[in-house]
Amino acid sequence: MAYFYNEPSRTFSEYLLLPNLTKKECIPEKVSLRTPVVRYKVGEKSSLEINLPVTSAIMQSVSDATMAIALARCGGLSFIFASQPIDKQVEMVEKVKKYKAGFVISTANLSPEHTLKDLLALKAKTGYSTVPVTEDGSAGGKLLGIVTSRDYRLSRTPLKCRLKEFMTPFDALVYGMEGISLGEANDMIWDHKLNCLPIITKDRRLAYLVFRKDYDDHKENPEMILDQDKRLVVGAGINSRDYAERVPALLEAGADVLCIDSSDGYSEWQGETLRWIKERYQDRVKVGAGNVVDKEGFTYLSDAGADFIKVGIGGGSICITREQKGIGRGQASSLIEVAKARDEYAQKTGIYVPICSDGGIVHDYHMTMALAMGANFVMLGRYFARFDESPSRKLKIGSNFVKEYWGEGSNRARNWERYDYGFDSEQKLEFEEGIDSYVPYAGKLKDNLDISISKMKSTMCNCGATSIDQLHTVAKLTLVSSTSIIEGGAHDVIQKET
Ligand code: IMP
């Protein structure tokens, strides 16, 4: 006979946290949200930690290089989506690793043969008034000069005049050599009263532009996650099909951590993928796996060598797996069981395997709820898709701005490897497990994340915890009745229109 669970499958909204004594020293400024990402020996430290317990989903509509840069600067971690050709994913990882705060790769460049008319068109399109002139008009071409609005007079300079005739030529430019620090570049900008300093390579190719801005990036972003070489940390998704080619390419590009992206991770394909990576690279490569919803799935992937494990099936906002296939489990129930399994595993083996709660986070407090239930960090798709930094289009529908957000199991993403059962990956699945949707546009990532994080810290203080580890042990959770949910919102008043 089939196995039946006695408890129903529960979600975050069915729980509330109860306060503990808040000691005077337990204030938001004292709360550390630093958390381990990859497995470690009990009593030691994880070799990869992040400063905020948030990661962005391995999805086309969420995690590209721009998102990864913005999130790592805030202290979280992105996993660049895997449902794209290997060379494209590699390019994105490289872009994050090459990113240097304050050093901008010029996106508006022209050649000396371009005319003032071309320059004005480019200016109108990009809004940039400083345009480097390179031999071939590319971002990395030999630098021949720079044009700014001080180099021409619209009333006098003919539109067909070529840039070489009026640009500030290379010999008259002040420039820095690649390798100088942001502080040194800023000093040159101030000493020479410049607005923009080009940085060139040894063979005079344009590397970056540094603009006049008196700031210390690290002071503005104290939680920024950097590797040993002071580059931003980035993750990348992989699948259990082309890993033999994708993994070496991503590592070469500098990916710090990988994660097998699949809707159902309790499979021999994931076991094989993990074993292949660990046999080849041992502990030098960190790789997460998932998704699972119970102890069996967790133990299987941990034994196969997973460095962290993602929890959650069917709870994602764009997910229709439960409707289509009847597979999944409420996110809270999954997390509670897997967190218990992780602690037992740590006791039995001496190895602590962090877990990530993936999908279904709707309210900010759900993040804290996931941590209280035992997650070490969370993964969010919908949340990040709403921001300027997500790769999808921003549209106006009626009087509201929205951004597009589509599931990896939708026809649009065509990520069949995520739902693969070992048949020809060119073959399209017969049905979708995700939808194509809009989410309300919410502005800049940092502005929103700062608010979510301050709510998280505040709740943790209510619980009497100044670290996630502590929250795991002191949190007290209660189920809520349907009538008490009504009591939790504003009720029995006439709310004023704002
Ligand atoms: P959200 O934060 O609730 O939007 O959920 C994001 C998570 O949903 C991702 O991290 C994936 O685990 C999962 N997911 C992404 N695409 C699909 C899909 O098409 N179907 C089902 N789940 C998906």
Q: From the CA of 319, how far away is ligand 1's center (Å)?
A: 6
Check if the beta carbon of residue 193 is closer than 8 Å to that of residue 174: no
pLDDT at 426: 55
pLDDT at 424: 55
Q: From the CA of 176, how far away is ligand 1's center (Å)?
A: 45
For residue 433 and ligand 1, the question of a CB distance below 6 A is answered with yes
Atom of ligand 1 nearest to the CA of 310: 12
Atom of ligand 1 nearest to the CA of 382: 4
pLDDT at 244: 96
For residue 382 and ligand 1, the question of a CB distance below 6 A is answered with yes
Whether residue 152 is predicted with pLDDT greater than 70 in this model: the reply is yes
For residue 56 and ligand 1, the question of a CB distance below 6 A is answered with no
Atom of ligand 1 nearest to the CA of 317: 3
Check if the beta carbon of residue 100 is closer than 8 Å to that of residue 182: yes
Other CB atoms within 10 Å distance of the CB of residue 118: 18
Q: From the CA of 75, how far away is ligand 1's center (Å)?
A: 22
**Residue 108, phi-psi category: left (phi > 0), alpha (psi -120 to 50), beta (remainder):** beta
**67 DSSP 8-state letter:** H
Q: From the CA of 368, how far away is ligand 1's center (Å)?
A: 19
For residue 358 and ligand 1, the question of a CB distance below 6 A is answered with yes
From 127-131, 262-266, 484-488, the region with the lowest mean pLDDT: 484-488
For residue 318 and ligand 1, the question of a CB distance below 6 A is answered with yes
Q: Give the pLDDT confidence of 194-213 residue by residue, as tens digits.
A: 989 999 999 999 999 998 87
Q: Give the pLDDT confidence of 313-350 residue by residue, as tens digits.
A: 999 998 888 888 899 999 999 999 999 999 999 999 99
Closest CA to 265 of 287, 233, 234: 287
Q: From the CA of 409, how far away is ligand 1's center (Å)?
A: 8
For residue 59 and ligand 1, the question of a CB distance below 6 A is answered with yes
Q: Are strands 257-260 and 287-292 parallel, antiparallel or unpaired?
A: parallel
Instruction: Give the whole-angstrom CA distance, residue 226 versus residue 98.
Output: 12
Write the secondary structure of 306-361 as one string of H (helix), E (strand) and C (coil).
CCEEEECECCCCCECHHHHHCCCECHHHHHHHHHHHHHHHHHHHCEECCEEEECCC
pLDDT at 420: 65
For residue 36 and ligand 1, the question of a CB distance below 6 A is answered with no
For residue 321 and ligand 1, the question of a CB distance below 6 A is answered with yes
Atom of ligand 1 nearest to the CA of 291: 12
pLDDT at 32: 98
- Crossing angle (nearest 10°) for helices 86-98 and 65-74: 40
From 54, 56, 59, 367, the mutation candidate for ligand 1 (largest count of ligand atoms within 8 A of CB) is 59
Atom of ligand 1 nearest to the CA of 380: 2
From 60, 319, 383, the mutation candidate for ligand 1 (largest count of ligand atoms within 8 A of CB) is 319
Instruction: Give the whole-angstrom CA distance, residue 397 versus residue 402.
Output: 7
Q: Give the pLDDT confidence of 82-94 residue by residue, as tens digits.
A: 999 999 999 999 9
Among protein residues, the one with the nearest Cα to ligand 1's atom 13 is 316
Q: From the CA of 181, how far away is ligand 1's center (Å)?
A: 40
Which residues does the annotation mark as catalytic? Answer: 319, 418
pTM for this one?
A: 0.86
User: CA 357, 367, 74, 105 torsion: positive or negative?
Assistant: positive
Whether residue 421 is predicted with pLDDT greater than 80 in this model: the reply is no
pLDDT at 153: 92
pLDDT at 386: 97
Q: Quickly list DSSP for 86-102.
A: HHHHHHHHHHHHH-BTT
For residue 311 and ligand 1, the question of a CB distance below 6 A is answered with no
**Given pLDDT bands bounded at 50, 70 and 90, which one contains residue 433?**
confident
- For range 208-230, the mean pLDDT: 80
- For range 363-388, the mean pLDDT: 98
Token pair 């069915």 is found at 14
- Amino acid (one-letter) located at 183: G
For residue 434 and ligand 1, the question of a CB distance below 6 A is answered with yes
Among protein residues, the one with the nearest Cα to ligand 1's atom 22 is 319
Summary mean pLDDT of the chain: 93
pLDDT at 101: 76
**9 DSSP 8-state letter:** P
For residue 62 and ligand 1, the question of a CB distance below 6 A is answered with no
pLDDT at 488: 82
Q: Are strands 131-134 and 400-406 parallel, antiparallel or unpaired?
A: unpaired
Give residues with Cβ within 8 angstroms of 390, minimum separation 6.
61, 62, 64, 67, 384, 403, 405
**Given pLDDT bands bounded at 50, 70 and 90, which one contains residue 423?**
low
